[in-house]
């Protein structure tokens, strides 16, 4: 999974990190976290 932030500044700079943390939690709950790479990209 790639989370790409295309422009700065963000209105809520914490929101992308919260999304990544929730995705990590969800993949862990599904038992597939070891099969998913999570990458956050910013300018």
Domain that holds residue 7: 2-41
pTM for the whole structure? 0.82
Overall number of domains in the chain: 1
pLDDT, one tens digit for every residue, the chain (43 residues): 999 999 888 888 899 999 999 999 999 999 999 999 999 998 8
Residues 23/39, Cβ–Cβ less than 8 Å: no
Q: CA–CA separation, 3 vs 16, rounded Å?
A: 8
pLDDT of residue 15: 93
pLDDT of residue 10: 86
pLDDT of residue 18: 96
């Amino acid at each position: 999974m790639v989370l790409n932030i295309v422009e700065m500044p963000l209105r809520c700079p914490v929101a992308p990190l919260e999304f990544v943390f929730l995705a990590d939690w969800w993949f862990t709950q599904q038992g597939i976290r070891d099969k998913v790479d999570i990458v956050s990209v910013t300018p």
